[in-house]
């Protein structure tokens, strides 16, 4: 457990910002950080030096003096210069939203591919943080002397090391990707149909996947519990196993995922583009359901998966019993209570014909 302060920047014009605050706090909890203090900063016009205004900086500084936190966590991605300025004034390391997401992904990555992808994302992120006189690599390598030939400045050394590491990591990922492509070819040869479960993080994809495949995938009330796509044949209780239908559990989406993570996870997301049917799992008990649905829809568009047949599944209806669906292409289910799963599985199986 690490101590932390959370600084939240909210623009008052955006009505659903309370959801964003809740989401950020969930992200912090998922990272196992204990929060000591939450400072809400309303920023209409960002300050060019510190993003938040002088009064807020002063306030956070006095709180830091008092509780001496290990980190200050910031709910938005920070430009390297702004981050450095804030760290100087507050005399404490700052973790911005991108870094928080990266460390969460690092914790969750278990497979070789997942680990490589997160490492690649971290290296690319570090590239954006190299600023003269202050480099994030110092934190990473614990001050090992890595200075190169005469005249090579620290920042040049850092850039060189990063370029080299990124190149090696890409090569490693390319190899993994080739194996994945072979597996996909095999599926096509065997004429298997692929159904991908997609959705916002924590919507209940893995819980549904477990129910529909008799698997035991890690499902948890934590963000990004799943990172690697998992493939299993459909096998639902009374309807028995299906030889030709494969179900894929995928990494969850989230609004404004950092570009470095999206690039590194491109091949994982590509699995979705090769499916015959997409099941969009939505948490219908979530007050931010509509924003999250749009976020998933735009992410599917961004990976060119918006032309694939899609059915929407409103999950967790046990938590929102008054919820009803009017669209007869959509389903209302509860993955934990097995409610509505029969109809859903029959619909998925219909796809075969
Ligand atoms: N009450 C209720 N809880 C559910 C239901 N389905 C899933 N959950 C809970 O929601 C939480 C998230 O479930 P997961 O299956 O891990 O969600 P996910 O979409 O796979 O999440 P990521 O892998 O993080 O993207 C867990 O605590 C589940 O027990 C449901 O139908 N009803
Ligand atoms: Mg999951």
Q: What is the pLDDT of residues 280-332, one digit of tens each?
A: 999 999 999 999 999 999 999 988 999 999 999 999 999 999 998 888 789 99
Q: State how far the Cα of 227 lies from the Cα of 115, in Å rounded to an integer.
A: 10
The interaxial angle of helices 154-189 and 112-128, nearest 10 deg, is: 150
Report every protein residue that has its C-beta within 5 angstroms of ion ligand 2: 205-206, 225-226
How many CA within 13 A on the CB side of residue 204?
25
Distance between Cα 6 and ligand 2 center (Å): 26
2-95 against 191-350: fold identical: yes
Which among 288, 107, 280 is positioned nearest to 199, based on CA atoms?
Answer: 280
User: Residue 45: which pLDDT band, with cuts at 50, 70 and 90?
Assistant: confident
Give the orientation angle of helix 112-128 with respect to helix 97-108, to 10 degrees.
160
Fold of 191-350: Rossmann fold (3.40.50)
Contact present, 223 and 205 (Cβ < 8 Å) = no
Q: Given ligand 1 and candidates 29, 109, 204, which is best to mutate, with the most ligand atoms within 8 Å of its CB?
A: 204
How much distance in Å is there from the Cα of 254 to the middle of ligand 1?
Answer: 15
Q: Which CATH number fits domain 2-95: 1.10.1060.10, 3.40.50.11060, 3.30.2130.10, 3.40.50.300?
A: 3.40.50.11060
Domain boundaries, the chain: 2-95, 109-171, 191-350
**Residues with C-beta less than 6 Å from any ligand 1 atom:** 199, 201-207, 219-221, 223-226, 252, 315-316, 318-319, 334-336
**Atom of ligand 1 lying closest to residue 227 CA:** 23
**8 Å CB contact between 113 and 228:** yes
- The per-residue pLDDT for range 144-196, each reduced to its tens digit, is 334 444 455 677 778 888 899 999 999 998 888 888 888 878 777 777 889 99
Kindly report the pTM of this predicted structure.
Answer: 0.86
Closest ligand, as measured to the CA of 252: 1
- Residues 96-145: pLDDT tens digits? 999 999 999 998 888 888 899 899 999 989 888 876 555 555 555 443 33
Nearest-ligand number for the alpha carbon of 200? 1
To test the pocket of ligand 1, the residue of 109, 211, 217, 220 to mutate (highest count of ligand atoms within 8 Å of its CB) is 220
**Which ligand 1 atom sits nearest the alpha carbon of residue 281?**
19
Which ligand 1 atom is nearest residue 315's CA? 31
Residue 277: which residues within 8 A CB-CB, separation 6 or more?
Answer: 193, 194, 195, 196, 308, 309, 310, 311, 348, 351
């Amino acid at each position: 457990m690490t101590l932390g302060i959370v600084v939240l920047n909210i623009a008052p014009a955006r009505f659903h910002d309370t959801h964003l605050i809740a989401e950020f706090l969930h992200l912090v909890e998922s990272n196992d950080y204990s929060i000591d203090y939450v400072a809400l900063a309303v920023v209409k016009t960002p300050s060019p030096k510190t993003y938040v205004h002088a009064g807020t900086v002063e306030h956070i500084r006095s709180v830091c003096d008092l509780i001496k936190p290990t980190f200050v966590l910031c709910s938005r991605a920070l430009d390297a210069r702004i981050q450095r300025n804030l760290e100087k004034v507050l005399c404490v390391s700052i973790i911005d939203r991108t870094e928080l997401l990266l460390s969460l992904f690092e914790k969750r990555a278990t497979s070789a591919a997942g680990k490589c992808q997160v490492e690649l994302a971290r290296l690319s992120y570090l590239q954006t943080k190299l600023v003269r006189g202050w480099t994030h690599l110092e934190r990473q390598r614990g001050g090992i002397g890595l200075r190169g030939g005469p005249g090579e400045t620290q920042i040049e050394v850092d850039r060189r090391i990063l370029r080299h590491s990124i190149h090696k990591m890409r090569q490693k990922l390319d190899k993994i990707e080739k194996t994945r492509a072979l597996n996909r070819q095999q599926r096509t040869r065997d004429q298997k149909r692929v159904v991908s479960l997609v959705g916002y993080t924590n919507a209940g994809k893995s819980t549904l996947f477990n129910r529909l495949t008799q698997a035991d995938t890690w499902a948890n009330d934590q963000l990004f519990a799943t990172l690697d796509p998992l493939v299993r044949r459909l096998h639902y209780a009374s309807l028995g196993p299906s030889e030709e239908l494969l179900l894929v559990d995928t990494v969850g989406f989230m609004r404004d995922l950092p570009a470095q993570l999206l690039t590194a996870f491109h091949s994982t997301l590509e699995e979705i583009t090769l499916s015959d049917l997409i099941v969009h799992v939505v948490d219908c008990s979530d007050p931010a359901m509509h924003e999250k649905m749009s976020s998933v829809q735009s992410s599917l568009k961004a990976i060119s998966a918006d032309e694939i047949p899609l059915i929407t599944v409103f999950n967790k209806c046990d938590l929102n019993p008054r919820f009803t669906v009017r669209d007869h292409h959509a389903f209302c289910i509860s993955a934990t209570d097995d409610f509505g799963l029969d109809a859903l599985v029959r619909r998925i199986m219909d796809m075969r014909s």
